[in-house]
Amino acid sequence: MALICFDVDGTLFDNDTKSIHPDTVQALWKLKENHKIALSTGRSLESVKGAGLIDNIDWDGFILHNGQLVLDAHQNVITADYLDHDAFEKLYEYCNEEGLNLSIANKNDWYLTKEKDINTVQAHEYFDEVIPHVGKYQHEDVVMAIIYAPLGWDTSKIEALHSFQITPSLTTSIDICKAGCHKSKGIHELMNALHEKEIIAFGDGHNDVEMLKDATIGIAMGQAVEECKEVADYVTKSCQEQGVAFAIDKLHLYEKDCIQKFYK
């Protein structure tokens, strides 16, 4: 048996059709006969729910905010990692000075620091997410933040803070996570809670590189960034071609001894 973890956008969720293909859903249910399955995403729980990814699938856990918040099957907190408080204060001030919108996720809420702008709208339309409400930062502990900025925006000034894992997305959003905290770390927290020893992971983006590299079997989507393909053990078809379902069938991942067979 293994813990099989799935990125959302560009892996399970087709951002063009704004849906998860029925063949993929069927394949996930087949996996559950012999394995445990989890979501591993930069999204919040609210965003995952909004995309309909919980309605038809019985997940065994959730790695959210790029590994900074880990929940069990009942959505109870297993672990939560927070951004460095002093560094985030500086980031918050910098975004205000530059007029950049910022979304902030804590354990209980997810909100924008300003009214939505063109970059905010574009990012949430790409991910088919509900745009968070506008709230007020009250110097609370922050699980993750997102900066909304034009594509190609220079991140060097925030990189100089040395306290964050900075991951640009494929659209107008930049994920801000705790340095050293990524999906792979969150997966290992869930793996320990579920008493699993082997990991199979699917992904396509920059924030999936660590988990594909660390997995027993790392599977990159056909349209994945080159960094994912370079560390993956297998490259499947694209998300648009139902690459998850294809790999599950091609590699017989639904079988108990799929890992041993893969490495024969």
Domain range annotation of the chain: 3-80+182-262, 85-178
Q: Which pLDDT score is estimated for 158?
A: 86
Model confidence at 55: pLDDT above 90: no
Q: Which pLDDT score is estimated for 40?
A: 97
Given pLDDT bands bounded at 50, 70 and 90, which one contains residue 73? very high
Q: What is the mean pLDDT of the chain?
A: 93
148-157 CB contacts, 8 Å cutoff, 24+ apart: 148/100, 148/101, 148/102, 148/103, 148/117, 148/119, 148/120, 148/123, 148/172, 148/173, 148/174, 149/100, 149/119, 149/173, 149/174, 150/119, 157/94
Handedness of CA 256, 262, 263, 264 (dihedral sign): positive
| Cα 172 to Cα 35, 122, 205, 216, distances in angstroms | 36, 7, 14, 32
Model confidence at 129: pLDDT above 90: no
**Which stretches of 100-169 are assigned E, i.e. beta strand?**
101-105, 110-112, 133-134, 144-148, 164-168
Q: Which pLDDT score is estimated for 177?
A: 87
Residues 6+ apart with CB under 8 A from 237: 221, 222, 243, 246, 247
Q: Tell me the two tokens of residue 147.
A: 């900066």
Single-letter code of the amino acid located at 5: C
Provide the CATH number for the domain formed by 3-80+182-262 in this structure. 3.40.50.1000
The Cα–Cα gap between 64 and 70 comes to 6
Model confidence at 264: pLDDT above 90: no
Mean pLDDT of 158-176: 87
Given pLDDT bands bounded at 50, 70 and 90, which one contains residue 237? very high
DSSP 45: H
Q: What is the dihedral of CA 10, 17, 59, 105, to 10 degrees?
A: 70
Model confidence at 254: pLDDT above 90: yes
The Cα–Cα gap between 59 and 206 comes to 24
Least confident of 33-37, 177-181, 186-190: 177-181
Given pLDDT bands bounded at 50, 70 and 90, which one contains residue 102? very high
Give percent helix, percent strand, percent coil of the chain, each to the nearest 5.
35, 25, 45
Given pLDDT bands bounded at 50, 70 and 90, which one contains residue 13? very high
Mean pLDDT of 104-126: 92
Assign a CATH topology to domain 85-178: 3.30.1240
Q: CB–CB of 5/199 below 8 Å?
A: yes
